Amino acid sequence: MKSKITVLFIALLSTISIAQTKVGTIDSDYIMSLMPEAKVVFERSQAYGAKLDSSFSLKTQDFQAKVQNFKNKEEEMGELMKKTIIKEISALEEDIKKYQSNGNKLMQLKKNELMRPLYKILNNAINTVAKKNGYTQILTTKGNQFAYIDEKFDVTKLVIAELGIQKQEIKK
């Protein structure tokens, strides 16, 4: 019984010592900036932002016109009419403030929606490179605050090649 436990223990230790990990790093932001599809995403984001800006501009112009109209005709109006128009102008002002505060959130959501397919492409390329080269982990260099990364474990160039992106001057 003791010999079976000893053999099992030795087998477990040898398995653990054999199973080593290979860790690589990647600059995914840099790769995303090189992808030709990123230019399309940028252009679509800009177009969406311009659309939001034009809607905001229309709301602002409508608000200013109503305020100016109210100022011009205020003396001719009765109290009930003044209260009604002031309530309408206040509602427009609130609407403009909400629209303005939601503008950045809407832009970020649109950008994320447009970038999702690019992230999927990048992720597939990273998976392919990791499997081809025996990596067990690939870490991104942005946001993780690494103090030191040995460049021989950087797979950025491999992923760029996997994606078929024309090689530009790689920063490093």
13 pLDDT higher than 70: no
Phi, psi (rounded to 5 degrees) for 154: -80, 120
- CATH class of the domain at 20-163: alpha beta
Domain boundaries, the chain: 20-163
The radius of gyration of the chain from alpha carbons, rounded to an integer in Å, stands at 30
CA distances from 37 to 42, 48, 143 (A): 9, 17, 23
The structure tokens listed for 70 are 């109210």
- Which of 55-64, 85-94, 141-150 bottoms out in mean pLDDT, i.e. has the lowest? 141-150
Comparing CA positions, the residue from 63, 41, 39 lying closest to residue 108 is 41
Intra-chain end-to-end CA distance of the chain, in Å: 58
Taking the C-alpha atoms of residue 108 and residue 48, their distance in angstroms, rounded to an integer, is: 11
| pLDDT for the residue 170 | 46
- 136: helix, strand or coil: coil
**Residue bearing the bigger pLDDT, 156 or 16:** 156
pLDDT tens for 56-74 read 888 888 889 888 988 888 8
| pLDDT for the residue 56 | 85
| pLDDT for the residue 2 | 65
pLDDT tens for 94-130 read 988 888 888 888 888 999 999 999 999 998 998 899 8
